[in-house]
Structure 1
Amino acid sequence: MTRLLGIGEFARRSRLSVKALRLYERQGLLRPAVVDTGNGYRRYREDQLGPARLVALLRRLDMPLAVVARIVAAPEDDRAGLVAEYWAEVEHRMAVQRGLAAHLRVVLSGGKGLLEMYEVKQREVPEQVVLTEQRHLKQPALSAWIEDSTDRLLKIAEDYGGISGAPFVIFHGELNEDSDGPVESCVPIGVAEPPSGVAARVEPAHREAYVRLAKAQVVFPQILSAYDAVAEWIKENGSTIADSPREVYFADWDGAGPEDEVCDIAFPMR
């Protein structure tokens, strides 16, 4: 027969406080095996120590109780994967917050340290034919539209030999919570002239300055620091902005981790 432990001994051996045990009981996460109806004493089975110790360790990760409950209730073979999934979300959130903190430092200091945040490079971009889709929209709808429009253009590109370069998005006007662009999604295709019957045009050859961002940096509003850095670099190096800024998506977004490079912020210049 499994031995029953009083709440004090169970707390000591499980590395949980009595207060925590009472909270987890109310939450339905870790219920006593027996509650004496006369005096209210709680007793736990000795075989509940394993789940209780797991709860204690998970809480040391600052894991929300709802997530802890899901992991404790999961089959043992699934628990490691759930912890890995949770921690990947934590690392992504921390990377995003780190970028936001850096952006705020620059904003609150009047732009000091902006160019030190990024390595600005130059490159020549050849003329290319692109399939396009344009839209007036505001910043909260941008990410979903970029994904959807790129998917639509990639499907059309299959009829013209597939894509010949990285998809990119051009911001022809200011885009935020109050202004709506317009914004243009572009997918390069390997043909000499724009095909008829679809929205396509020639994107002229140009020289551009750019910075490369990790996935966690491609978040509004901290991404604005990258735009500001490229524009400032162009000015400081005696050049001028020649056309609208763009985001060039050269990597698999869904498969990328928070620190993986996925996007260039670029300005055509002369």
Structure 2
Amino acid sequence: MTISEFGRRTGLSHKALRLYDVSGLLTPAQVDPANGYRWYTEEQLERARRISVLRQLDMPLATITEVLAGTDEEALIRLDRWWAAEEATTAARRATLQYLRDRLARTGTSGLTPRPVHTRDVPATKIASIRAETDQQQLIGVIVSCTDEIMTYLHKAGATVTAGSWVIYHGAVTPDAQATVEVCVPFGGLVDPDGRIGIRVEPAHHEAYCTITMDECAYPRIMLAYDLVFDWVRANGIPDAGPPREVYFANCQSIPRDEPAVDIALPVHNRKP
């Protein structure tokens, strides 16, 4: 069928179909070498309609390509993973909006109620991890999707997830600049690396930390928790010993957003008594 007929039956414009052709997402079954006319087949209708629906969800083209790359079962897993990341991002944005409203209305305090900074020893831990580049806007989605990807792989491999997860910041993630983050999930059992999922041992260390809620985890309020930990470390004259991290309690997404759910932690040198 012609591009006009195909567009009518799928609800896609000529511009969209040309874009999907260039991107490799939906290539015409045939292109006339003489006049460049594009022709499509009945078998391409379902894929085109799925693309149209996914675009209505504002899914990026690169993600649509991943979702439609395999079987329907694999597509469902990728779709659910992406949507969970979108919902987590929306919740974080809502908390950020409330923070800003409080500041503008002058009804809040400093944005973070006083709380203690503690220290603890963390044993060497076997982890599965994914490293990814992200900026502040995409951060929550990256954390959620990578955590789900690792969890799914570990469960399929017969491993046991032994605790909550954490995210190590190997650089400063800001609204204007990307940096490397490492999403880590501890586990027990024998598991091989797979694709971008690496397996390693996180070294034993001593760390300083404070605990915050999921609402307080939203940017920029979370930066106040980081300030609290870093200021405590400096005030006590303790050198830091590694990159900062956010340690998420097990099933933290199901914890009420105003209850403790995340530790903001910084590895430090242990001062012997």
TM range (shorter): 0.5 to 0.7
Identify which of 88, 96, 99 aligns with 1:97: 99
| Other structure's SS at 2:140 match | helix
Q: Return the alpha-carbon distance in structure 2 between the equivalents of residues 168 and 237 of structure 1.
A: 25
Q: Deviations over 1:182-221 (max 9, x none)?
A: 1110001114x87354511110000000010012101100
- The aligned counterpart of 1:138 is 135
Change (3 A) 1:210 1:99: farther
Opposite residue 168 of structure 1, the aligned amino acid is: W
Residues 129 and 184 of structure 2 are in contact (CA less than 8 Å); yes or no, is this contact kept in structure 1?
A: yes
Structure 2 counterpart of 1:156: 153
Q: What is the TM-score when the length of structure 2 is the normalising length? A: 0.56
The letter for the 2-side match of 1:125 is: V
CA contact (8 A) 2:134 2:180 kept: yes
**Equivalent position to 1:188, from 186, 189, 194:** 186
Partner of 2:236 in structure 1? 237
Cα separation, 1, equivalents of 2:101 and 2:208: 21
Give, in angstroms, the shift of residue 132 of structure 1: 0.7
Displacement, 1:99? Answer: 10
Greater Rg by CA: 1
Q: Equivalent residue of 1:153, what SS?
A: helix
3-state DSSP of counterpart to 1:216: coil
- Which residue number in structure 2 is paired with residue 265 of structure 1? 264
Matching residue of 2:7? none
Q: What is the one-letter code of the residue matched to 2:202? A: E
Q: What RMSD in Å do the two structures reach over aligned CA positions?
A: 2.9
Do 1:136 and 1:180's aligned partners in 2 also have CA atoms closer than 8 Å?
Answer: yes
**Counterparts in 2 of 1:267 and 1:174: CA distance versus 1, 3 Å:** same
8 Å CA contact 2:165, 2:250 repeated in 1: no
What are the within-5 Å matches in structure 2 for residues 1-270 of structure 1? 96-97=98-99, 101=103, 117-158=114-155, 159-191=157-189, 195-197=192-194, 198-270=197-269
Task: Report the Cα offset of residue 124 of structure 1.
Answer: 0.5
Q: CA deviation at 1:266?
A: 0.3
Aligned length: 171
SS of the counterpart of 2:153?
helix
Which ranges in structure 1 are unaligned for 5 or more consecutive residues? 1-88, 108-113
Structure 1 residues 269 and 129, CA gap change in structure 2 (3 angstroms): same
- Paired residue type of 2:261: V
Cα pair distance change 1:178/1:94, threshold 3 Å: closer
Give the C-alpha shift of residue 94 in structure 1: 10
Q: For 1:254, what is the secondary structure of its paired residue?
A: helix
Q: Cα–Cα, structure 1 residues 196 and 175, in superposed 2: closer, same or farther, change >3 Å?
A: closer
Report if aligned partners of 1:130, 1:203 keep a CA contact under 8 Å in 2: yes
Distance in 1, matches of 2:102 and 2:261, equals 18
One-letter amino acid matched to 1:164: T
1:253 deviates by 3.2
- Give how far 1:133 is off: 0.4
Quote how far apart the aligned CAs of 1:226 are.
0.5
CA contact (8 A) 1:100 1:221 kept: no
Cα displacement (A) at 1:167: 0.5
Q: CA deviation at 1:177?
A: 1.0
Partner deviation per Cα, 1:118-155 (whole Å, 9 max, x = no partner): 31011110001110101111000001111100000111
Question: Structure 1 residues 253, 237: closer, same or farther in 2, change over 3 A?
Answer: same
